[in-house]
Amino acid sequence: MDQHSLLQMITDNEVKAIDLKYCGLDGKWYHITFPARRILNVLERGIPFDGSSIPGMRAVESGDMVLMPDIETAHIDQFFETPTLRMICSICDADTRIGVKKDPRSVALRAQEYLLSTGIADSSVWIPELEFHLFDTTQFNSDSFSSGYTITSCQTKDSLPEDWEDVDALSLDGVKGYHMDTPFDQFYEVRQEIVDLIEDQDIKVRYHHHEVGLSAQQEIETELLAFPRICDDVMIMKDIIRRAALGHGLTATFMPKPIYNHAGNGMHFHIMLHKKGKNVFYKKGGYADLSKEAIWFIGGILKHGRALVAFTNPSTNSFKRLLPGFEAPVKLFYGLANRSAAIRIPRYANTPESKRFEFRTGDGTCNPYFAMSAILMAGLDGIKNKIDPAKYNLGPFDDNVYSWSEEKKATLLSIPADLAEAMQALKDDHEFLLQGGVFNEELIESHIAMKMKEHEAVNSRPHPHEMMLYYNL
């Protein structure tokens, strides 16, 4: 889109306001809005703001930063009553207008530049699988004298909303919800509305369905989308899901494990590299028809997997999902069609055009700019250093490792057990992220410090279940 097209969009839609979105280190969107008449001034000069007020963002450069909008991300906002145009911004240095080292979006842009500089590929395409719950109500509190939460879902008899009368007998218990049909899939129309809104933003959806979790767990999967734009797209999709849910009196969450002993929410990433229009990962005759570059790329991800978790699973709740028995990978290895693996090679993706693999560890609490950039950097490090997964006992394994003996399972490299262990793994192994200036030491230190505060905030508080276990001892 050029400037003329943008101005035409503003005129055609009678736009009154321009809403600028940008991403903090915490993976949340922030925004600032200005009258549409100022658009040309802002495109040229940006919007100055105090970066020190955004958690973890203050850099050694200074607190003064500038938001520079990306004209290619311009879309009409679908939810505001006032005609509003949305653009996504990079956080830039006030003097140079260059993306600052700690801006998540600029990290992804630098990762793309680094990919091109290696000559390994000229593009990468990704499929993110967004899993989330739609709850009727959620209440929670945590203070010095009380702590707890209550979730209700009209789809499960175990936790029906107050005064809910299940006159149609659509609420269930004791079954799995995977691909559950209507009328029991009670939020099909809500999910379809969400998909329509996503596609209106030029993000192509592959399919959507009810997931395993009976209490209204959903999944939306896109088609292959180009990096780094896919990072913007994930932020847009999460925003649409939340806002559309609220419009129906529901609440959406991407928490990895919102309900004890039920299926959790992951965010799997399918990955493919291209060079001159050809799939770098395909080679007929290799294991699962993977090229040596694909094997090395996988080797890099798995070898650096414990450190990657610091970005792909950056919440205390992440590690309540990464448990055996829920199709959540806890061991770092790869295999063909193996859902116990951290990296699965889909059996159906068996042509030169479709050959790819799926990284199954991540979840929706991740900052997509950091998570996907880190995965890409680990894979490129694998290719540059020809990291063979077999050399490190990282696969391929095509059987269910959960059926192995405990002694044999212990030989596999494990996912970190909690957020603190993940941060230590990142502290010990992050040189691969610094290549090409994509990440830097200050960003990594800030991320570790922010996440350790979250770990300590949870770890230092009495847990409600501890009252059940220990109050009367």
Catalytic site residues? 50, 129, 131, 211, 219, 268, 339, 358, 360
178 HSE (CA, 13 A, CB side)? 7
Report DSSP letters for 147-211, one per residue. Answer: EEEEEE-TTBGGGPPTT---TT---B-SS--TTPPTTTSTTHHHHHHHHHHHHHTT--EEEEEE-
Query: Alpha-carbon distance 235 to 285, whole Å?
Result: 38
DSSP state of 51: G
**How many Cβ atoms from other residues are within 10 Å of residue 388's Cβ?**
15
Burial of 175 (0-12, 13-18, 19+ CB in 10 A): exposed
Both structure tokens of 345: 């090679």
Query: Alpha-carbon distance 190 to 195, whole Å?
Result: 9
Both structure tokens of 362: 């991540």
Burial of 104 (0-12, 13-18, 19+ CB in 10 A): buried
Contact 203, 127 (CB under 8 A): no
Most distant CA pair in the chain: distance in Å? 73
Both structure tokens of 50: 């105090």
Helix axis angle, 104-118 relative to 229-247, nearest 10°?
Answer: 150
Strand-pair partners of 68: 90
Phi, psi torsion values for 225, nearest 5 degrees? -125, 145
Strand-pair partners of 32: 20
Query: Alpha-carbon distance 291 to 280, whole Å?
Result: 7
67-70 own/partner pairs: CB under 8 Å, 24+ apart: 67/20, 67/22, 67/32, 67/91, 67/92, 68/92, 68/97, 69/18, 69/20, 69/42, 69/43
Query: Alpha-carbon distance 29 to 49, whole Å?
Result: 15
Burial of 16 (0-12, 13-18, 19+ CB in 10 A): middle
Query: Alpha-carbon distance 46 to 94, whole Å?
Result: 9
CA angle 265, 268, 273 (to 5 degrees): 170
Q: Closest Cα to residue 108, out of 157, 61, 70, 64?
A: 70
4 membership: H or E segment, kind and range? helix 3-12
**How many Cβ atoms from other residues are within 10 Å of residue 159's Cβ?**
19
